[in-house]
Amino acid sequence: MTYKVKLEIFEGPLDLLLYLIRKNEIDIYDIPIVTITHQYIEYLDLMKALNLEIAGEFLVMAATLMHIKSRSLLPHQEELENEEGPDPLEELRRQLIEYQKYKDVAQVLKGKEILEKDVFKRSFYEVSELQDGEPSFDEVNLFDLLNALKSVLKKSSGDTLMEVTAEQISVKDKIAEILENLRSKRTMTFDSLFTGLSTRLEIISTFLALLELIKLQAVRVLQQAPFRTIHIYSVEETLSSDEPVPHATDEIL
């Protein structure tokens, strides 16, 4: 039976596009559609290979990007300009700019702790307070993790990415292993999770285990700045004594 991970907590296709724009240091008003489309499809292929459940909006966006890419490669652009309806690239740019504005406002509100005061938290976990003088860290999203995984896979030996099945790997064992390491070390870097792993299947199973722990809110993944080192923290020690600690290995969907 194929092992599948459901990730309700992560972002959508516009977040992935904005991530790629930041990663490539691209002007949102001058998007190289061929490059962005290629990288977007790469991330979708990686998510599919990992058996991550992909929302339909990701596939719709992929079709939109392919359509825009095909238009950009066709000759006689002056004829295309006479077609009825809005320019799909201009419409996509408008959506990205508008979405980025909402994200910027949300970030400002979060900085002022208005969101903390006015809404219920998703989790009863809390990150330990940073000591004076320590740098602040931001939450890592799925695309940061996928980008880091791509780097790890490039360094690994073996052939193409293989399908992950329950018979080939034990994600539960990897979850227990990560939790045990965090109990003794309190924090680990993303790259250190894969130190000593000799096969791509081991790497993939470890990555899936990390996603499950994030979903179960048993760990936090943070980084000081975009595209910098990713740090993994255990939140077990921050639970109050009267709150139950979830057993991650018993709650995998």
CA within 13 Å, CB half, 95:
15
Give residue 157's pLDDT. 58
Give residue 54's pLDDT. 75
Q: What is the pairing mode between strands 187-189 and 230-234?
A: antiparallel
Give residue 227's pLDDT. 81
Give residue 37's pLDDT. 94
Q: Minimal CA–CA distance to 191: which of 176, 218, 210, 169?
A: 210
Question: Which pair of tokens denotes residue 250?
Answer: 């018993």
Give residue 224's pLDDT. 81
- Average pLDDT by consecutive 10-residue portion of the chain (253 residues)? 47 89 90 93 88 81 91 65 73 91 76 53 42 59 88 71 53 90 88 86 90 89 85 68 41 38
By three-state DSSP, how is residue 230 classified?
strand
Give residue 178's pLDDT. 92
Q: What is the domain partition of the chain in residue ranges?
A: 1-119, 124-253
The answer to whether 252 touches 171, Cβ cutoff 8 Å, is yes
Q: What is the spatial distance between Cα 142 and Cα 59, in angstroms, rounded to a whole number? A: 17
Give residue 113's pLDDT. 54
Q: What is the spatial distance between Cα 52 and Cα 69, in angstroms, rounded to a whole number? A: 26
Give residue 158's pLDDT. 54
Give residue 176's pLDDT. 92
Q: How many CB atoms lie within 10 A of CB 232?
A: 23
pTM, entire model: 0.68
